[in-house]
């Protein structure tokens, strides 16, 4: 609500007092500087933990391999859709936004490429020391060290588990600091929005609105057309019924702006719908690190918007290189509020540093776009679980049809499927006699009522 009020206030100030509004630009710039401060630790932690997830998924055999292949394929497809929509609409064209020193930054980038060439660029990726990569602000150096550390932890094997756990704790600390910074988003949004509207008039509001609408429509079509078609062809299930089944989780994600909050419920509901626990336990957690369809669409459209708005559009080679970097750098950060903004800043800083200052333009609407990308990521994970379960024959299709049709509702009070398991066990025992088919007397445990059995197990 604070961001909503700040955006409206910024627009009003920009329209009523344009000169005063321009003086508020440092508020947005300071907020962007705070985000840039978090880029290196966010990239390092997410890459190291992401590679750890690859090792874990690959160790479980066919299900893990299928999951990884599916996630990478769909993320690449989502990137392609984002690029297509962004290039067709060009929502930032005509804004002519400038950041302090952007021209200087552009010239320095050109000089660096002309003076040092390809080998100079490659050698610049290697930092002076492992720790300097985390403090120099060079994102490519951070990515390089993170990849080395991640693969080294893979080679160590089980002995590296404490180190991986330590990185996980550091990541929690880093994201907690990021959340603290995001509380300043309303102030940054107010300053950035007021300055943009003061300089460009109502055109900025229209262009930002076009970006938001285009992003939401793209995400909706991706989930209900592309992923829905995959679900229908592979699992023979309806994406609309699945969306109704996950309605409570969608509301939770909208309230928190993070798909992470709905992770436990997704696991419970996927087991209830008929997917085996082993498959759910592999696909869902791995998907939260690698199935970033919504984030991929967001990163592509936001990058193209900023480049067009600052009058420095990306050519197709730069788009491919930037988006490939973002697809790698964003692994492990799914479901974390604000991680998309940090990843966007990191990608632009690594490829076109002069564009980083343009991030303050979309700070005001990032919160609203965060809702859509979290919902898209969550939907993609649910659909992936059913699709991979179908491929590996670890899903009860008949039960899935009954559950999605509302005939076997999910128990919201316990989120457990105890009755289903117990009923199945009792169905295997004869009810008309005191003996089994083999003539043996059944154990006393099977004669207990279901609730007594549950109580005794507890």
**Residue 400: inside a domain, yes or no?**
no
**Residue 26: inside a domain, yes or no?**
no
Total domain count for the chain? 1
- Domain range enclosing 86: 61-128+202-391
With 60 as the cut, is the pLDDT of residue 121 above it? no
The whole-angstrom separation of Cα 74 and Cα 79 is 9
Place 373 in a pLDDT band, splitting at 50, 70 and 90.
confident
Structure tokens at 84: 């297509």
pLDDT value for 330? 61
The whole-angstrom separation of Cα 293 and Cα 34 is 27
CA trace torsion 95, 101, 103, 108 (10° rounding)? -140
User: Please, where are the H alpha helices in 90-131?
Assistant: 102-123
**Residue 344: inside a domain, yes or no?**
yes
pLDDT value for 339? 63
With 90 as the cut, is the pLDDT of residue 233 above it? yes
SS3 275: strand
Structure tokens at 43: 């990239």
pLDDT value for 384? 93
**Residue 11: inside a domain, yes or no?**
no
Residue pLDDT, tens place only, 183-202: 887 888 788 778 777 776 77
Please tell me the total number of residues recorded for the chain in this structure. 458
**Residue 227: inside a domain, yes or no?**
yes
CATH number of the domain to which 348 belongs:
1.10.3860.10
Mean pLDDT of 359-384: 82
């Amino acid at each position: 609500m604070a961001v909503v009020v700040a955006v409206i206030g910024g627009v009003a100030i920009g329209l009523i007092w344009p000169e005063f509004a321009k003086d508020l630009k440092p508020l947005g710039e300071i907020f962007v500087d705070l985000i840039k401060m978090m880029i290196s630790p966010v990239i390092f932690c997410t890459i190291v933990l992401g590679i750890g997830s690859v090792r874990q998924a690959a160790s479980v055999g066919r299900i893990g391999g299928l999951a990884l292949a599916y996630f990478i394929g769909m993320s690449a497809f989502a990137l392609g859709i984002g690029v297509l929509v962004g290039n067709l609409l060009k929502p930032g064209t005509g804004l002519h936004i400038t950041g302090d020193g952007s021209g200087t930054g552009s010239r320095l980038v050109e000089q660096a490429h002309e003076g040092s060439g390809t080998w100079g660029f490659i050698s610049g990726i290697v930092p002076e020391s492992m720790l300097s990569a985390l403090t120099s602000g060079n994102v490519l150096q951070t990515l390089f060290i993170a990849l080395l550390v991640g693969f080294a932890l893979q080679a160590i094997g089980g002995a590296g588990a404490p180190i991986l756990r330590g990185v996980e704790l550091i990541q929690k600390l880093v994201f907690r600091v990021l959340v603290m910074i995001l509380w300043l988003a309303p102030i940054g949004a107010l300053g950035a929005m007021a300055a943009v509207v003061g300089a460009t008039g109502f055109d900025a509001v229209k262009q930002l609105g076009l970006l938001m609408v285009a992003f939401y429509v793209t995400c909706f079509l991706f989930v209900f057309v592309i992923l829905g078609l995959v679900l229908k062809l592979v699992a023979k299930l309806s994406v609309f019924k699945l969306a109704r089944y996950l309605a409570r989780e969608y509301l939770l994600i909208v309230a928190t702006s993070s798909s992470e909050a709905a992770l436990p419920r997704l696991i419970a509901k996927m087991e209830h719908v008929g997917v085996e626990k082993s498959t759910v336990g592999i696909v869902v957690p791995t998907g939260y690190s690698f199935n970033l369809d919504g984030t991929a669409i967001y990163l592509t459209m936001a990058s193209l918007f900023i480049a067009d708005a600052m009058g420095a559009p990306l050519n197709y080679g730069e788009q491919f290189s930037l988006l490939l970097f973002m697809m790698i750098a964003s692994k492990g950060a799914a479901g974390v509020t604000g991680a998309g903004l940090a990843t966007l800043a990191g990608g632009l800083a690594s490829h076109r540093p002069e564009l980083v200052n343009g991030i303050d333009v979309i700070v005001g609407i990032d919160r609203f776009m965060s809702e859509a990308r979290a919902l898209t990521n969550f939907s993609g994970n649910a659909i992936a679980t059913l699709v991979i379960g179908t491929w590996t024959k670890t899903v009860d299709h008949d039960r899935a049809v009954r559950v999605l049709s509302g005939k076997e509702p999910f128990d919201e009070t316990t989120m457990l499927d105890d009755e289903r398991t117990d009923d199945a066990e009792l169905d295997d025992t004869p009810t008309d006699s005191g003996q089994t088919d083999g003539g043996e007397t059944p154990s006393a445990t099977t004669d207990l009522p279901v609730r007594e059995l549950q109580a005794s197990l507890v």
